[in-house]
Homo-oligomer: A and B are copies of this chain.
Amino acid sequence: MSKSLISTVSPLSPKNFPPIKSVPGVRLSGRAVGLKTSGAKDLMFAELARNTKIAGVFTRSRCTSAPVDWCKHILPHGKARAIIVNSGNANAFTGADGEIVVKNTVNKAVQLIGCSPKEIYIASTGVIGEPLPPFSIADNLASIRRGLGIRAWKTAAESIMTTDTFPKAASRLARIGNAEVVISGFAKGSGMIAPDMATMLGFIFTNARLPSQVLQKLLFKATKNSFNSITVDGDTSTSDTVLLSATGQVIGQPIVKRASDLIVADFYRALEEVCIDLAQQIVRDGEGAQKFINIIVSGAESKRAARVIGLAIANSPLVKTAVAGEDPNWGRIVMAVGKAGEKASRDKLSIDIGGNTITKDGRRVKEYDELLLANYMKKRDITISVDVGVGSGRASVWTCDLTHGYITINADYRS
């Protein structure tokens, strides 16, 4: 079901799977249980130490999947002992049957671990609307648990892939007072990626000791600046989930009470870095992507307005096809700024591509050199900077180009 028609790895992928630090209190396992017809790995199990706190951000879709409904239901409890993720089937739009699959999975995990059902998180990704056999996940939990290990990051990342062409993970260190903590995570997603987190899943773990309300605030902010600042095709899925788990398995860490405490600033910096790293890897695996596009909007009324304008540019099929064609067609950028609906001064608009100023004060500059720009457009990574001339709001947004590959993959994914 989730076969990749274009099986070659994205040309924008990192050279190697990055080194990922283990997180005390986190053990991972992944294997194939037959949900993907290809026989590839399709089940991931993360077991977490007692007293692990958790935060989550979910899709804003009005037609959420059964697993998302379950996670939202238990999130206020703020504690977790396991995260169970299958790929190959989204368990979305499956009615009461879908809820039964979730219930069976949770019950089995509770029995194996000996915890509350409210500590079992579930996520599913893949085809929408295909019923899953009721025990297809539950029946595999005992065996997958036997494979748990502290270093299985790559296996875990591979087990949640659908049309992804490479596994995605990132790791950073941070200081909270004198204690050093680690933040490691993995993610999946390549199509249906958009703000509000189209089919994308992200699982981030730390050994920091932080209350769930603090985790929630930090994750929400980091998500806005990372997973919600990327777009591949403007579509939003029924299943998007980002979870941040904190095991508290750290020695000598001062107590943190509020997300605004200065002592947590370096942790937030590292968390945002992990989120941005994962988000950018998702864009680099955008279906059919040949170029990575970095869009920086400044001079907007607010950070929010800057992000809206950035996403209008990033979601414009005309901008994305122009980049695919290596054509510095800045007129389409003007069009996209105009359609964003946020305040922008046409007569102060500046556009810069790769350090080459194209427009200033509402018109093309005299020294504009199309040949120079045409050469820049041949690169793999393209940076577009736009100043809309009305304020000091600033945001970065990331996307990829729109190519024949996207059409080929999506005109044929399911059949």
Contacts and interface: CB of A to CB of B under 8 A. Distances in A.
Interface of A: 59-64, 90, 92-97, 127-129, 131, 191-192, 194, 196, 233-238, 315-318, 321-322, 324-325, 327, 329-332, 334-344, 346-347, 349, 359, 361-364, 374, 402-404, 406-408, 410-415
A90 B342 CA distance: 22
Given A60-B341, A196-B339, A346-B64, A415 B325 contact: yes
A208 B60 CA distance: 49
Nearest to A339: B236
Contact of A349 (B63, B336, B413): B63
A63 B338 contact: yes
B338 A234 contact: no
Name the 4 nearest CB pairs between A and B, nearest first: A128-B331, A325-B411, A63-B338, A61-B338
Contacts of A322: 410-411, 413-414
19 contacts: A60-B341, A62-B337, A62-B343, A63-B338, A93-B334, A93-B349, A128-B334, A129-B364, A233-B318, A235-B336, A317-B406, A321-B411, A325-B415, A327-B411, A331-B414, A374-B415, A402-B407, A406-B407, A407-B407
Contacts of A129: 330-331, 334, 359, 363-364
Given A321-B411, A329-B414, A403-B407, A63 B363 contact: no
A194 B335 CA distance: 12
A236 B127 CA distance: 32
A325 B362 contact: no
Nearest to A331: B128
Contact of A324 (B128, B191, B318, B407): B407
B410 A331 contact: no
Contacts of A362: 93, 95
A63 B330 CA distance: 13
A356 to B, nearest CB: 15
Given A62-B342, A407-B321, A332 B93 contact: no
A196 B96 CA distance: 40
B342 A192 contact: no
Contact of A234 (B234, B236, B238): B234
Contacts of A340: 62
Contact of A235 (B97, B339, B341): B339
Contact of A331 (B127, B191, B318): B127
A357 B59 CA distance: 27
A349 B343 CA distance: 37
